[in-house]
Structure 1
Amino acid sequence: MLFSMGFACYGSNKTQEYKKLVTGIVDENGRPNVSDIFLVLSFLDRQGVRVRMRGYYKKFYKLVDDIWEETLHLRGSNIVSKENNDALDSILDLIEDDSSQFSCGDVIYLFIDLFVAGTDTTPSKLEWTMAELIRNPEKMVNVRTKLQHVLGNKNNTLNLEETMSSKLTYLQAIQKETLHLHPPVPYLLPCKAICDVELCGFLVPKNAQIFVNVWAMGRDPTIWDKPNSFIPKRFLESEIDFKANDFKFIPFGVGRRMCPGLPLASRVLPFMLASLTYHFDWKVPDGLKLEDMDMSQNYGILLHKAQPLRAVPVKM
């Protein structure tokens, strides 16, 4: 989508390098760092976080810069037409405008941010969704039944189009319920108070750094009924959506700092889920009991399963 290139070829050296860089940056961002607590020690970099991050970003910059230079060469030689229209082409069209204030460095770091922020979050959420459906087989059956009802297929084929997304209400409810229990980012991006403000009887001083714990909000019994249970039905019976019209459910943030990937994620994930559940039932391997599935969480900047999901597809 960004570069009209595939980065998911298992045997590709570039894919493996890219995966290593993304994983390294995400892990370092989520690693507790004494310099964040005691700022007077920040120049020491006692845990080596700054050195490792500088190495990751240097390699990532080179990777994206190579793609940038190759695209510029192809556009200049007219090998690729401007109608290609991926994200990089759109940005280059803006840069060619005389009034543009974009620079090469700005764009490369923008794409690095998009890569890192958009890569790990989607598969993590899909993994949590599949884990919850496997643990709740009646919900898996409901997904398949609802899809068959919406699509009305007689030949057992899955032909989904984006215009159908509004009809996939049960899939959307499952998506919301997974975000309620397992938000990809347990703490929203930090904010800063621009002045002293009183909130719920507490004084938040000017320049204080503020973290919103959306994971804790989703597990709060004063906010949710049976907060630790996987109940997609709760979203079928309410008008709560992803757009922060209710502050008890803000997995993508709110206001100007809302995640820019929301429109893409809310469209792509239901289709991925439909593809995985429509033709296959899923079982846990090695005789494992559903109640014994490991659902523990690995906390960091992203909320991963501590143990990757292992499941066996069974053809329907």
Structure 2
Amino acid sequence: MIVHLILFSFTTLLIVIFVKNSKRKNPHPPGPPGLPILGNLHQFEANNTHVYLWRLSQKYGPIMSLKLGSVPTLVISSAKMAKEVLKTYDSIFASRPKLLGQQRLSYNGLDIAFCPLNEYLREMRRLSILHLFGTKQVQSFRPIREDEVSRLVKKISNYASSGEVIDLSKIMMFVASSFICRVAFGKRYEEGGLESRRFDQILHEAQAMMNGFYLSDYIPSLGWLFDKVSGMISRLEKNFKELDSFYEELIQEHLNKNRNKSTKVTQDIIDILLQVKNEQSSSVELTLDHIKAMLMIIFIAGTDTSAALVTWTMTVLMKTPLAMKRVQAEIRESVGNKGFVEEQDLQKLLYFKAIIKETLRLYTPVPLLVARETIGSCIIDGYEIQPKTLVFVNVWAIGRDPEYWDNPCEFLPERFLTCSIDYKGQDFGLIPFGSGRRICPGLSLGMATVESALANLLYSFDWELPPGMKKEDIDMDAFPGITMHKKTPLTLIANAIHC
């Protein structure tokens, strides 16, 4: 009897303590129920994850929790919540998860995109702004940009003269990769050549491996076996070795004292990083692995996002002929008969700038940004966020936030003619490049390339769809991945106006 009484008293005490603690603690954000072990992994769609998460947020709210295997996960889907994460609590949300593909290809986080929040990140950001992506350096690459855009116009002119259908998605990937190769490596690969095919193959596989699904990221105790049996581990290692060999060749070429530098317009990024290494002008003692990791993120991210943004902008303009007509009229009236849109012309093109902002709002190249990880706990909107939480900021959904945008699902570039909202990280309804400590350092370099290429495509050519195709036939589906590429290539016919 006494034993029963003691057990009853002890049970009652535990219940009281549990209830008290439950009342004292802030609840976790709401979210869909999951399964044992898998959590919500089984609910993720292979395509358009950002759209699926947006739909879930319509039910569970702009701050939503999931469980991906054993990993607690937070999804942010409104401008208000994004400001909390990227500004108010930026120091807590600014680290990175150690995802297998990203870590391996970045030499265990030695680059600037995937390294955790620490002193190394601060120093690499300082180095990047000072030596690689600052205003002075972006301007020094201008002759390369203009040369690549000039080659682009000439190439499309050749198609236009024969009335041939153009795969603009493919052409823009080549232009973006050519520009990155020249500014980063000091080399240009001719299209269709052996080196170009090798470059394209390595780039394509690296993008697949970086974006790939590794079960061990979410269920470490079981996932490593699945990843090994599925072949993902061996495929990742093979790609890493190919990339490492590629970087090593480029670096050794730059270290060769007999290298011909007479044709170079400016120092390329390998030159700059080797100079910083030799001069020991950084608080981080740079090694060749550091340089390779930095080349990786420039190589992959720089090519991907610029090409995707130009393609999406041209796609949405083909679906909205009145906007196309208006922006072409603005460019042609402003530039006149010069035959080429120079970079100093761009500042006068207000509607053109509005077109790009509206495309970034609706078809942002990186819809979920790069995943973050919390390094501490905090309270947001009354919900408790724990350390080691995986965080996705759904900027695709934020671009459709009805509390921030009027008519959020309509393509209305005019909205940006009467407001000062910009994409540089201070307006949380439009954050395609992130904000705070993790804002993309290559923003200025990438946008300079996009604006120059896009303005000249619109200035030099009138565009039409292939025979038998109507604007309603243009699909807006995207491939899965960190970068949102158009699933069906954009094929068009160009009619030369200014060449």
Q: By how many angstroms is 1:284 displaced?
A: 0.9
Choose the corresponding residue for 2:258, options 72, 77, 84.
77
CA–CA distance in 1 between the matches of 2:377 and 2:470?
53
1:12 partnered with 2:193: yes
1:27 partnered with 2:176: no
Residue identity (%): 34
Q: By how many angstroms is 1:115 displaced?
A: 0.2
1:149 partnered with 2:336: no
Match of 2:487? Answer: 306
Q: By how many angstroms is 1:286 displaced?
A: 2.5
- Are the aligned partners of 1:61 and 1:112 in contact in 2 as well (CA < 8 Å)? no
1:205 partnered with 2:386: yes
Choose the corresponding residue for 1:121, options 295, 305, 326.
305
Match for 2:202: what amino acid? L
Match of 2:251? Answer: 68
Q: Which runs of 5+ in 2 are unaligned?
A: 1-182
1:168 partnered with 2:349: yes
Q: 3-state DSSP class of the match of 1:314?
A: strand
* Cα gap change, 1:166 to 1:39, in 2 (>3 Å): same
Q: By how many angstroms is 1:84 displaced?
A: 4.3
Match of 1:232? Answer: 413
Match of 1:47? Answer: 230
CA–CA distance in 2 between the matches of 1:126 and 1:79?
34
Q: By how many angstroms is 1:98 displaced?
A: 4.2
Larger helix percent? 2
Q: By how many angstroms is 1:83 displaced?
A: 8.1
Match for 2:456: what amino acid? S
* Cα gap change, 1:53 to 1:138, in 2 (>3 Å): same
Q: By how many angstroms is 1:72 displaced?
A: 0.7
Choose the corresponding residue for 2:289, options 89, 95, 105.
105
- Are the aligned partners of 2:401 and 2:429 in contact in 1 as well (CA < 8 Å)? no
Match for 1:114: what amino acid? I
- Are the aligned partners of 1:187 and 1:213 in contact in 2 as well (CA < 8 Å)? yes
- Are the aligned partners of 1:192 and 1:207 in contact in 2 as well (CA < 8 Å)? yes
* Cα gap change, 1:47 to 1:29, in 2 (>3 Å): farther
Choose the corresponding residue for 1:96, options 278, 285, 303.
278
Q: Deviations over 1:161-191 (max 9, x none)?
A: 3233321222211111111111111111122
Q: 3-state DSSP class of the match of 1:311?
A: strand
Match of 1:137? Answer: 321
* Cα gap change, 1:11 to 1:238, in 2 (>3 Å): same
Q: By how many angstroms is 1:77 displaced?
A: 3.2
Matches within 5 A, 1:195-274: 195-274=376-455
Q: 3-state DSSP class of the match of 1:21?
A: helix
- Are the aligned partners of 2:306 and 2:447 in contact in 1 as well (CA < 8 Å)? no
| Higher mean C-alpha displacement, 63-72 vs 92-101 | 92-101
Q: 3-state DSSP class of the match of 1:120?
A: helix
CA–CA distance in 2 between the matches of 1:261 and 1:49?
30
- Are the aligned partners of 2:214 and 2:223 in contact in 1 as well (CA < 8 Å)? no
CA–CA distance in 1 between the matches of 2:443 and 2:297?
15
CA–CA distance in 2 between the matches of 1:65 and 1:4?
14
Q: Deviations over 1:133-168 (max 9, x none)?
A: 1111111111111112322x2xx3333332333212
* Cα gap change, 1:85 to 1:220, in 2 (>3 Å): same
CA–CA distance in 1 between the matches of 2:440 and 2:233?
26
CA–CA distance in 1 between the matches of 2:287 and 2:339?
44
CA–CA distance in 1 between the matches of 2:237 and 2:209?
11
CA–CA distance in 2 between the matches of 1:42 and 1:275?
48
Q: 3-state DSSP class of the match of 1:298?
A: coil
CA–CA distance in 1 between the matches of 2:373 and 2:445?
27
**Segments ≥4 residues shifted beyond 4 Å:** 81-84
Match for 1:131: what amino acid? T
Q: 3-state DSSP class of the match of 2:184?
A: coil
CA–CA distance in 2 between the matches of 1:141 and 1:298?
29
Choose the corresponding residue for 2:465, options 263, 277, 284.
284
Q: CA RMSD in A?
A: 1.9
- Are the aligned partners of 1:298 and 1:305 in contact in 2 as well (CA < 8 Å)? yes
Q: By how many angstroms is 1:104 displaced?
A: 1.3
Rg larger in structure: 2
Relative to the length of structure 2, the TM-score reads: 0.59
Q: Which runs of 5+ in 1 are unaligned?
A: none
Q: 3-state DSSP class of the match of 1:2?
A: helix
Q: By how many angstroms is 1:123 displaced?
A: 0.8
CA–CA distance in 1 between the matches of 2:267 and 2:327?
35
Q: By how many angstroms is 1:14 displaced?
A: 1.5
Q: By how many angstroms is 1:79 displaced?
A: 4.1
- Are the aligned partners of 1:134 and 1:290 in contact in 2 as well (CA < 8 Å)? yes
* Cα gap change, 1:224 to 1:91, in 2 (>3 Å): same
CA–CA distance in 2 between the matches of 1:184 and 1:78?
37
